[in-house]
Amino acid sequence: MEPMHLIVGLGNPGAEYAKTRHNAGFLLVERLAELWRAGWTKERKFTARVARAERLGRKVLLAEPQTFMNLSGESVGGLVKYYQVPLEKVLVVVDDADLPVGEIRLRPGGGTGGHHGLESVTQHLGSKAFPRLRIGIGRQDEMREITGHVLGKFSAGESALLEKVLERAAGQIECWLGDGLQKAMSQFNGVVDSTNEEK
């Protein structure tokens, strides 16, 4: 029996956070659930919303931790343990203020970049060796204190670009499921909007 793939979008629950930059992970897994016609259910034992799908011959579990960002690892750790998901089949989708809006970057592992959600997941999994897909949300004026920025909503211009980003990132995840990490990285990583490619 092939192990399940787990795709986790990180974010904060609640209507006030729904379209904020920090919820880019939620936005992508919700897009995947829509594309794959997978319905969401609340799983209290994992403190998460989950949706089950079959895609490209793979069993896939989509998840949104409902713990708030900084405790995301509690949900992810519980899901990984219960479903016995190998770490290379756990994909965590996060926002990244160090990438400009319009850029996506899939990696097989690595550091947290100061992202509290990733820090929590790393702590609970006891490893950095799990794939993560970073969705650029940019930062303003090179400020290090960015709480207001990440918890703010995308501007009208950013929202239009975000639609392209989510479409491209969904394609990247399908490539990861079907053809593996290396191909998904080489074909999809980078700037989504062609007008920004000289940057």
- The residue from 5, 22, 115, 124 that is catalytic is 22
Q: Could you report the per-residue pLDDT of 41-75, keeping only the tens digit for each?
A: 999 999 999 999 999 889 999 999 999 999 999 99
Evaluate if pTM is beyond 0.85: yes
pLDDT category of residue 154 using cuts at 50, 70 and 90: confident
Enumerate the H helices of 13-146 as residue ranges.
24-35, 72-83, 116-125
How far apart (Å, rounded) are the C-alpha atoms in residues 16 and 178? 35
Residue where the block lists tokens 């011959």 = 57
Q: Given a cut of 80, is residue 162 above it in pLDDT?
A: yes
Calculate the alpha carbon distances from 101 to 46, 62, 117, 121 in Å: 31, 24, 19, 24
- Fold that domain 5-196 belongs to in CATH: Rossmann fold (3.40.50)
Q: Could you report the per-residue pLDDT of 97-140, keeping only the tens digit for each?
A: 889 889 999 999 999 888 999 999 999 999 999 999 999 988 76
Q: Could you report the per-residue pLDDT of 33-48, keeping only the tens digit for each?
A: 999 999 999 999 999 9
Query: Taking the CA of residue 12 as centre, how many other CA atoms within 13 Å lie in the half-sphere pointing to its CB?
Result: 16
Q: What is the mean pLDDT of residues 88-93?
A: 98
pLDDT at 195: 53
Give the rounded distance of the alpha carbon of 93 from its chain centre.
1
Domains in the chain: boundaries: 5-196
pLDDT category of residue 198 using cuts at 50, 70 and 90: very low
| Annotated catalytic residue 22 | yes
